[in-house]
């Protein structure tokens, strides 16, 4: 008799009477990157690549798989491990598809069994050995519950973004009204790291006082005097129009003051397309960078504004190296409903993409949030789509929805983010007083890569 999963979803193990010599079972397991991240963190080597993992860490990964096999497959629940002997032949690697085979090879005593084991992968045999187990007098059953997901709070996507930006020239940016601690120290820190050449636009005396209060200096920084936030925004925009700055960065003035200068018909930075905002988000539980638009500029966009919002984001991803981004047009449901205008807009945007009015991406919508980011949710609802569960870009139906999605991911899912405004002549770096240092530096890195790609403000 083999261990088995009953109709009730319970797994039954073997008793001493059931565990006959020669019984065999095989289980499959795929090694995921998050498992290596966890083990590396336990061994104090959080940044170790799989090929650089300590030998003990590689052993722990394979030992955990062996023990899970014994507990769930053969002999199953109720067994107790008395001894383990494994020989490690190859280091495990993320993506390995494992086949773990166990055979009861001996019964040394009435209550014990020896289990011969091999662990094979597509690259060859990783390990072989044996377990000595104490068996229960009676069969033991347990519920076959799904294993919990372990998510480490790592932000590899933004770390890669910043590492890539370090390979391109520093960004010359006009910083409008950096007159408090965070808005001034952020650009100065980026300057010290070689990422930014800031042109500080505001009252020199105020900025010098803030810098001195925090032990830094404005020495070496270009300063353009401006007496009010409105004047600073206009002067910073003019620096970008004249080509002295390749990006515009928000200081401690209000967003609407800065954006008024950007969209001004006289002296502004308008280009041919509607201006929109994109959050580049690094969500630890999602398998790739996730871009959310528009969450900061367009309050209730109409269809044609949404088309520009989508195209801005698509062009940005092209500049970052994604040739055909997958774009999910979000709504509350995944079916077209005449009573929900967002679903009609979603369907129209997809048809516009079919006709070439939006180019360079794969669009699908309407999609609910769960369908857009979860393959499992899409499968349950029988949604067959190359975008569902694998979206690069989430297009919100309005600013309120986009802002809520971005902030929920930040505060409930430990996401880190970078923010950028597109559609102007130059990238506009929008930061908030609540933004972390990583967010500020990642936003600068994003603008730096856009400028280096030759796309500038995208439009």
Q: Tell me the pLDDT of the chain (459 aa) as tens digits.
A: 455 554 456 889 999 999 999 999 999 999 988 788 788 778 777 666 666 778 888 899 999 999 999 999 999 999 999 999 999 999 999 899 999 999 999 999 999 999 999 999 999 999 999 999 999 999 998 887 655 665 556 678 888 899 999 999 999 999 999 999 989 998 999 999 999 999 999 999 999 999 999 999 999 899 999 999 999 999 999 999 999 999 999 999 999 999 999 999 888 898 888 999 999 999 988 989 999 999 999 999 999 999 999 999 999 999 999 999 999 999 999 999 999 999 999 999 999 999 999 999 999 999 999 999 999 999 999 999 999 999 999 999 999 999 999 999 999 998 999 999 999 999 999 987 777 777 888 999 999 999 999 866 555
In a domain, 72, yes or no: yes
Residue 333 burial (CB count, 10 A)? 15
90 and 22 inside one domain: yes
- What CATH number does the domain containing 214 carry? 3.40.50.10950
Domain final position from 143, 173, 190:
143
Q: In terms of domains, do 279 and 376 share one?
A: yes
Same domain, 114 and 23: yes
Q: What is the pLDDT of residue 55?
A: 85
**In sequence order, what E strands does 237-385 have?**
247-250, 276-282, 290-293, 326-330, 362-367
Do 257 and 381 have their domain in common? no
Identify the CATH number of the domain in which residue 72 sits: 3.10.129.10
Distance CA 305, CA 301 (A): 5
Asked if the structure places residue 442 within a domain, the reply is: no
- Is 445 domain-assigned? no
| pLDDT tens track for 39-56 | 877 877 766 666 677 888
What H or E segment, with its residue span, contains residue 132? strand 124-134
In a domain, 379, yes or no: yes
Q: What is the DSSP code (8-state) at residue 107? A: -
Contact by Cβ (8 Å): 416, 442: yes
Structural domain tally of the chain? 3
Would you say residue 149 lies in a domain? no
Q: How far apart are CA 417 and CA 407, in angstroms?
A: 10
Helix (H) / strand (E) containing 172: strand 171-176
Tokens of 268: 């502004």
pLDDT on residue 459: 57
Which three-class secondary structure state does DSSP give residue 226? coil
Q: Does residue 348 sit within a domain?
A: yes
Residue 459 in any domain: the answer is no
> Looking at the structure, do residues 205 and 115 belong to the same domain, yes or no?
no
| Predicted model pTM | 0.74
Q: Domain range spanning residue 252?
A: 155-271
Q: Is residue 437 part of a domain?
A: no
Does one domain contain both 261 and 285?
A: no
136 and 9 fall within a common domain: yes
Last residue of a domain, one of 271, 290, 312: 271
Which residues, 6+ apart, have CB-to-CB distance to 409 below 8 Å? 281, 283, 290, 292, 415, 417
Radius of gyration of the chain (CA): 28
């Amino acid at each position: 008799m083999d261990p088995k999963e009953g109709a009730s979803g319970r797994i039954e193990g073997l008793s001493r009477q059931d565990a006959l010599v020669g019984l065999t079972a095989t289980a499959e397991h795929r090694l995921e990157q998050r498992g290596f991240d966890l083990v590396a963190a336990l061994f104090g080597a959080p940044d170790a690549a799989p090929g650089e993992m300590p030998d003990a860490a590689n052993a722990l990964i394979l030992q955990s798989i062996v023990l899970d096999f014994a507990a769930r497959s053969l002999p199953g629940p109720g067994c107790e491990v008395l001894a383990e002997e494994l020989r490690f032949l190859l280091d495990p690697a993320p993506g390995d598809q494992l086949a773990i085979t166990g055979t009861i090879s001996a019964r040394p005593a009435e209550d014990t069994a020896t289990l011969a084991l091999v662990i094979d992968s597509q690259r060859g045999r990783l390990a072989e050995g044996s377990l000595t187990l104490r068996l229960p007098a009676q069969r033991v059953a347990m519920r076959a519950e799904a294993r919990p997901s372990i998510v480490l709070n790592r932000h590899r996507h933004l770390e890669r973004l910043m590492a890539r930006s370090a390979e391109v020239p520093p960004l010359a940016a006009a910083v409008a009204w950096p007159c408090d601690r965070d808005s001034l120290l952020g650009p100065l820190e980026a300057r010290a790291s070689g990422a930014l050449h800031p042109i500080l636009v505001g009252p020199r005396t105020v900025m010098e006082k803030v810098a001195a209060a925090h032990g830094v200096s404005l020495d070496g920084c270009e300063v353009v005097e401006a007496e009010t936030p409105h004047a600073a925004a206009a002067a910073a925009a003019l620096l970008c129009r004249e080509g002295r700055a390749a990006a515009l960065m928000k200081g401690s003035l209000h967003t609407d003051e800065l954006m008024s200068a950007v969209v001004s018909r006289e002296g502004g930075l308008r280009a041919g397309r509607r201006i929109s905002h994109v959050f580049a988000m690094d969500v630890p539980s999602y398998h790739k960078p996730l871009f959310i638009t528009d969450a900061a500029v367009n309050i209730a966009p109409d269809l044609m504004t949404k088309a520009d919002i989508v195209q801005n984001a698509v062009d940005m991803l092209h500049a970052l190296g994604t040739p055909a981004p997958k774009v999910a047009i979000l709504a509350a449901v995944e079916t077209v409903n005449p009573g929900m205008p967002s679903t009609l807009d979603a369907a129209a945007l997809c048809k516009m993409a079919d006709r070439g009015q939006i180019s360079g991406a794969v669009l699908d919508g309407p999609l609910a949030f769960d369908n857009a980011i979860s393959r499992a949710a899409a499968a349950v609802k029988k949604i067959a789509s190359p975008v569902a569960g694998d979206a690069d870009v989430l297009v919100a139906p309005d600013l309120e929805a986009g802002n809520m999605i971005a902030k929920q991911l930040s505060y409930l899912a430990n996401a880190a983010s970078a923010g950028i405004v597109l559609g102007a002549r130059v990238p506009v770096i929008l930061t908030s007083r609540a933004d972390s240092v990583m967010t500020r530096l990642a936003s600068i890195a994003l603008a730096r890569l856009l400028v280096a790609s030759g796309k500038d403000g995208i439009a």
